[in-house]
């Protein structure tokens, strides 16, 4: 009997160790793609990221060389447009939820924002196509920026609300007790206190939409040349990567890897900035 | 004198409220844009596809001919492709994601947890198109050379692993979706497991449970509903995944049992054909595809919200008690 219990105990210990090992292997499998993608990006793309890549236009079909200067600038222009619409709407909407809304209204708005966050990004492309491209008879940077901004709004709204709710009530009470009006309290005290968190949310949203391709396919459309007229089709880095990746030309594949490396570096840089901003506090990824 | 005092009092008591009203209304307007967006997305997709809906009716969902030249549109192959590729993704991602979440909250040494969480967040940050690029040039050649022949040798007698193995296939699409949804399943599951009260664990350990027994009996089974919610949330993402899938699934509108055969999803057909729609009816049919995709993902997301919400309120009340 004594032996049996000891034996059972060893067996249970063994099972526990086995389960830990299986879980460890799962964790390794989950992050393996990250390592593999990164390795292949460096191996295939690093050689092609050079001065030409950042300064030249895409070469004509078949010609070796050329760069993605217009796509990089186009992406930044699209992000600026998206931010111009998405940031004020998202931040102020989040302020309403955190500071003004009654609990019932908030429940509904929060729920709808979560539903919007679950809408596939390509759907936004379709909607903006119907709203803007069909109506104004043409693909444009405006349409692309709008599509990206619609994705940003619910993301920024939710993160802003969360960080504003973290500001202690004593701050508000102190300001109001000094006779500061409510909106000034919110703007100068509450939002200022929460500014780090708000900026974090904005940066994460920008990093997310900066890599989006699907909503740009039939809004910004892409462009092989320089274009600074926002009512015309515009190039974007993710779009260019997609076009090159599915093309049959080896030199374009090389460029696609280089573009992907640059895009990933941009996205990771933003994520590292976010990590520095939120040191000590885990950023939520949902 | 008393009059002056009174007027001073009124001035103090009633400062201008204009700024406050204006700011509140401004933020309210911005918050209501969320409602506007929901209405807009539904209206636009409905409005854009109303002709196709009238013309094809229920047949749109139940027939499998997609022939833009003959103006015959049936979305069944796309619905099938979306469901099957998402299912494959879940089969791969759910065990891995939940095991990783359990590892991160219960089993792993403390020092390893935060770095692992950061790496998973970085995986979540990789844009879809880049994973697709990697899928085309790295994953598909590898799948074609090693796992596919192996699967064919051992499971070739089933209809699921028969036929030629070109590479771009339903299985490749499912695997790439699995990679895309692993971060969200893992991180939401981790939050769920973290919200399990410590009392549960303490009780299990007090009864002499090993680490794994405590995890299985006290934590995982307690969090069952929330974990289900995490899985459904992952499913919602899987259904709408576009770029990476489009690049590896083969884009052939057919219903084939074999997972080695190419397929097509609702999102991919939008990505590929939207700019090519030459006739009004073709465009309408594509809008209807968008409507179907939106309908499915919203239903799935509603279910996920419901599951996740009831769990958090319940665990919160229990923690308070």
Closest partner CB to A126 (pick from B17, B129, B287):
B287
Cβ proximity of A71 and A141 under 8 Å: no
Residues of B in contact with A181 (CB under 8 A): 15, 17, 19-20
pLDDT tens, chain B, 321 aa long: 455 555 544 445 455 688 899 999 999 999 999 999 999 999 999 999 999 999 998 899 999 999 998 989 999 999 999 999 999 999 999 999 999 999 999 999 999 999 999 999 999 999 999 999 999 999 999 999 999 999 999 998 999 998 888 899 999 999 999 999 999 999 999 999 999 999 999 999 999 999 999 999 999 999 999 999 999 999 999 999 999 999 999 999 999 999 999 999 999 999 999 988 889 999 999 999 999 999 999 999 999 988 887 655 544 433 333
pLDDT of residue A122 exceeding 70, the answer is: yes
Among B119, B129, B182, B195, most A C-beta atoms within 10 A, so best to mutate, is: B129
How far apart are alpha carbons A255 and A246 in whole angstroms? Answer: 12
Q: Is B64 helix (H, G, I), strand (E, B) or coil?
A: coil
- Tell me the per-residue pLDDT of A126-149, one tens digit each, with 9 for 90 and over: 999 999 999 998 999 999 999 999
Q: Is A144 helix (H, G, I), strand (E, B) or coil?
A: helix
Residues of B in contact with A213 (CB under 8 A): 127-129, 242-243
Closest partner CB to A33 (pick from B47, B123, B240):
B123
- Tell me the per-residue pLDDT of A67-87, one tens digit each, with 9 for 90 and over: 899 999 999 999 999 999 999
- Tell me the nearest-neighbour CA distance from B287 into chain A, angstroms: 7
Considering the entire predicted model, what is its pTM? 0.91
Q: What is the DSSP string of B244-299?
A: HHHHHSB------S-TTS-B--HHHHHHHHGGG--SHHHHHHHHHHHHHHHHHHHH
DSSP H or E stretch at residue B67: strand B66-67
- Tell me the per-residue pLDDT of B159-217, one tens digit each, with 9 for 90 and over: 999 888 889 999 999 999 999 999 999 999 999 999 999 999 999 999 999 999 999 99
DSSP H or E stretch at residue B72: strand B72-73
Q: Is A234 helix (H, G, I), strand (E, B) or coil?
A: strand
Chain A residue with minimum CA distance to B186: A30
State chain A's mean pLDDT as an integer: 91
Q: What is the ipTM of this complex?
A: 0.92
In the prediction, which pLDDT does B321 show?
A: 30
- Tell me the nearest-neighbour CA distance from A238 into chain B, angstroms: 7
Residues 6+ apart with CB under 8 A from A215: A121, A122, A124, A125, A128, A144, A147, A148, A151
Q: Is B73 helix (H, G, I), strand (E, B) or coil?
A: strand
Chain B residue with minimum CA distance to A106: B31
- Number of residues in chain A: 286
Give the closest residue to A285 by CA, choosing from A194, A158, A161, A124: A158
Chain A residue with minimum CA distance to B114: A282
């Amino acid at each position: 009997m004594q032996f049996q219990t000891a034996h059972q105990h060893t067996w249970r210990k063994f099972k526990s160790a086995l389960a830990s090992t299986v879980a460890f292997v799962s964790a390794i499998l989950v992050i393996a793609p990250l390592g593999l993608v990164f390795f292949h990006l460096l191996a295939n793309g690093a050689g092609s990221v050079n001065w030409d890549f950042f300064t030249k236009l895409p070469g004509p079909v078949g010609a070796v060389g050329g760069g993605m200067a217009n796509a990089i600038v186009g992406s930044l222009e699209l992000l600026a447009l998206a931010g111009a619409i998405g940031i004020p709407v998202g931040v102020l909407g989040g302020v309403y939820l955190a500071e003004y809304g009654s609990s019932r209204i908030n429940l509904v708005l929060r729920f709808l924002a979560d539903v919007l966050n679950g809408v596939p990004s390509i759907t936004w492309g379709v909607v903006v196509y119907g709203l803007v491209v069909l109506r104004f008879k043409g693909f444009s940077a405006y349409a692309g920026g709008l599509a990206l901004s619609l994705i940003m709004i619910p993301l920024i709204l939710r993160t802003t609300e969360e960080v504003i709710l973290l500001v202690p009530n004593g701050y508000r009470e102190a300001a109001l007790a000094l006779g500061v009006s409510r909106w000034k309290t919110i703007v100068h005290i509450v939002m200022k206190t929460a500014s780090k968190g708000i900026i974090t949310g904005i940066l994460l949203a920008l990093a997310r939409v900066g890599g989006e391709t699907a909503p740009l396919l039939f809004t910004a459309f892409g462009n092989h040349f320089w274009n600074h007229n926002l009512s015309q089709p515009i190039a974007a880095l993710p779009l260019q990567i997609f076009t090159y990746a599915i093309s049959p030309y080896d030199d374009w594949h090389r460029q696609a890897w280089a573009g992907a490396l640059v895009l990933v570096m941009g996205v990771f840089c933003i994520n590292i900035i976010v990590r520095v901003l939120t040191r000590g506090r885990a950023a939520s990824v949902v | 004198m008393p009059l002056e005092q009174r007027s001073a009092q009124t001035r103090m008591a009633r400062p201008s409220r204009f700024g406050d009203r204006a700011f509140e209304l401004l933020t309210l307007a911005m918050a209501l844009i969320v409602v506007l967006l929901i209405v807009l997305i539904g209206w636009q997709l409905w409005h854009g596809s109303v002709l196709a809906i009238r013309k094809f009716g229920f047949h749109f969902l139940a027939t499998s001919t997609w022939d833009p030249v003959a103006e015959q549109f049936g979305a069944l192959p796309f619905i099938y492709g979306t469901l099957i590729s998402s299912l494959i993704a879940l089969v791969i991602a759910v065990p891995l994601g939940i095991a990783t979440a359990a590892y991160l909250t219960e089993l792993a040494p403390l020092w390893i947890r935060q770095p692992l969480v950061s790496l998973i967040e970085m995986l979540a940050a990789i844009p879809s198109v880049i994973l697709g690029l990697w899928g085309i040039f790295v994953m598909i050649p590898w799948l074609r050379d090693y796992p596919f022949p192996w699967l064919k040798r051992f499971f070739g007698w089933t209809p699921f692993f028969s036929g030629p193995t070109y590479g771009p296939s339903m299985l490749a699409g499912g695997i790439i979706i699995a990679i895309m949804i692993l971060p969200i399943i893992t991180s939401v599951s981790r939050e769920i497991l973290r919200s399990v009260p410590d009392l549960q664990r303490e009780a299990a350990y007090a009864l002499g449970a090993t680490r794994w027994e405590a995890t299985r009996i006290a934590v995982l089974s307690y969090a069952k509903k929330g974990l289900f919610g995490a899985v459904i949330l992952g499913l919602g993402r899987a259904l709408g995944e576009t770029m990476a899938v489009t690049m590896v699934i083969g884009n052939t509108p057919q219903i084939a049992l074999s997972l080695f055969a190419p397929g097509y999803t609702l999102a991919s057909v939008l990505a590929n054909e939207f700019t090519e729609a030459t006739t009004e009816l073709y465009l309408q049919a594509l809008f209807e595809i968008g409507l179907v995709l939106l309908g499915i993902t919203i239903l799935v997301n509603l279910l996920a919200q419901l599951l996740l919400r009831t769990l958090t309120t319940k665990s919160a009340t229990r923690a308070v008690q």
